[in-house]
Amino acid sequence: MPDIAIPAILAPAAGLGLALLLGLLVGVQRGWTLRNAPVGSRFAGIRTFALLGLAGGLAGTIMERSAAHAAILLAAAAILVLIGYAKTARSPDQLSGTTSLAALITVGCGYLAASGEAQTATIVAAATTMILALRSELHGWLAGLSDVEIGAIARFALIALAILPLLPDQAYGPYDAWNPRQLWLVVVFVSGFSFLGYVAAKRFGTARGTLIMAATGAMVSSTAVTAALAMRVRDGEESQAMAIAGIGAASAVMLVRAIILTLVLAPAAMPAFAWVAAPAALVSAGAVAWAFRGQRSSRTEHPVELKNPFRLAPAIGLMLLVMLITVGARWMMALVGEKGLALVIALSGLADVDSAIITVGSLPANMLEGQLATIVIIAPVLANTLFKGATAVAVAGWHKGWKLAAPLVLGVAASLALVPVLLV
What lies within 8 Å, CB to CB, of 83 at 6+ separation is: 43
Say if residue 271 is preceded by a cis peptide, omega within 30 of 0. yes
Of 265, 279, 285, nearest in space to 382 by CA? 279
What lies within 8 Å, CB to CB, of 287 at 6+ separation is: 244, 245, 247, 248, 407
SS3 state at 115: coil
CA distance linking residue 367 with residue 386, whole number of Å: 27
* pLDDT score at 123: 92
* pLDDT score at 342: 60
- Domain extent listing, the chain: 8-141, 145-422
pLDDT values of the chain reduced to their tens digit, one per residue, 424 residues = 344 445 555 567 888 888 899 989 988 888 887 776 666 556 667 888 889 999 999 998 888 888 888 898 889 888 888 887 777 766 655 556 777 888 889 999 999 988 888 889 999 999 988 988 888 777 777 776 777 777 778 888 888 888 888 898 888 888 787 888 878 887 887 777 667 766 766 666 666 777 777 777 777 678 878 888 888 888 777 778 888 888 888 888 888 888 887 787 777 777 777 888 888 888 888 888 887 776 655 444 444 444 555 667 767 876 787 777 667 766 766 776 555 556 666 666 666 676 666 666 555 555 555 566 677 778 788 888 888 888 888 888 888 888 888 888 998 898 888 777 665 5
Handedness of CA 69, 71, 74, 77 (dihedral sign): negative
Cβ distance 112 to 125 under 8 Å?
A: no
* pLDDT score at 2: 45
* pLDDT score at 109: 92
* pLDDT score at 220: 67
Length of the chain: 424
